[in-house]
Homo-oligomer: A and B are copies of this chain.
Amino acid sequence: MVKISDVAHHAGVSPSTVSYVLSGKRSISDQTRRRVMDSIRALGYRPHAGARALASNRSNVIALVVPLRSGIHVPIVMQMVIAAVTTARTYDHDVLLLTQDEGVGGLERVAGSSLVDAIIVMDVELHDLRLPVLRSLERPSVLIGFPADPTGLTCIDWDFEAAGAACAEYLADLGHREIALIGAPPAVYERGTGFAERTKAGFQRAAAERGVDAVVRPCDPDNARAAADDLLRDHPGLTGIAVHNEPAVEPLLTAFRASGRHIPDDLSLVAIAPDDLAERLDLTSISIPAEELGRQAVVRLMEKLDGHQPPGATLLPSRLVVRSSTPAT
């Protein structure tokens, strides 16, 4: 293995100079820098990560905790993971993958052993057990999702409140007077994941502001048919629908069709869903920028590693894309 002293010898400088050339932590004459770089290339030198971590107290690795729960749209998670890895690389960092099931112990392990410099936790719940640990850890962290009490934490998420409001406003603008939000399965509300509640709140608030009638109904994908039938029966005047439940979208479309409603002629439908799904089904949608979230989480984390204090809370805006499930205006 080529070590820093080999490079130093080859270039006719001291090991410390090689180190400084690599880190840029002090000025080096152009000539010396060039000689050192040439030697590095010639010998194929790669700094030993462990030695570096030991001496500098920085591993240049961040941990990423991915969710395991079902009910999560896997491609979205994957997009965020990929974006996080890619972004971390631009900061010369690598990503260590942890799974939810290691729980609190996993966080303590990788942080305590200095395996990682910082942590990103995906899919944070309202009363997440990991919150106290993250707060007490000596290492910076960024949460994706909002807990009930984000004090002392850096959180980032989509702005579901705004997304819900945008749906209601858009439907109201189209002239609908009775609108509905078909939401997550009941279990999601019960678990208090937060995002479901926030979408609902935004939807209801905006509807009230526009003076349109709004109903909200949870929906299990397996019972999409029943949900659709119930809604149409109980609210005959219903003409605008928002759906915030990816796996239920297709069954719902089938159910509406089966009940004789045509989209967009009889019913306007806007989905809060990832672009790939909305594109495939050609639905007007509020797009969920997954890569952006993964990217931003890393950016925030790097800010913290640099000693800056980023805002405690960031809400990423989403945008409405009009497709064929609502009438052209």
Using CB atoms and an 8 Å cutoff, list the residues of chain A in contact with chain B: 1, 44, 46-54, 59, 61, 64, 66, 68, 74-75, 77-78, 81-82, 85-86, 89, 94-99, 101-102, 108-110, 112-115
Contact = CB atoms under 8 A, between A and B. Distances in A.
A49 B113 contact: yes
Contact of A109 (B46, B61, B85): B46
A113 B48 contact: yes
A221 to B, nearest CB: 9
Number of copies: 2
A63 to B, nearest CB: 9
Nearest to A250: B250
Contacts of A85: 97-99
Contact of A110 (B50, B81, B94, B115): B94
Contact of A49 (B47, B59, B78): B59
Nearest to A74: B75
A71 to B, nearest CB: 13
B113 A47 contact: yes
A108 to B, nearest CB: 8
B74 A102 contact: no
Given A50-B114, A95-B97, 16 more contacts: A1-B114, A48-B54, A49-B59, A49-B113, A49-B114, A54-B54, A61-B96, A64-B97, A66-B82, A68-B82, A85-B97, A85-B99, A86-B99, A94-B98, A94-B115, A97-B97
Contacts of A102: 89
A113 B46 contact: yes
Nearest to A99: B85
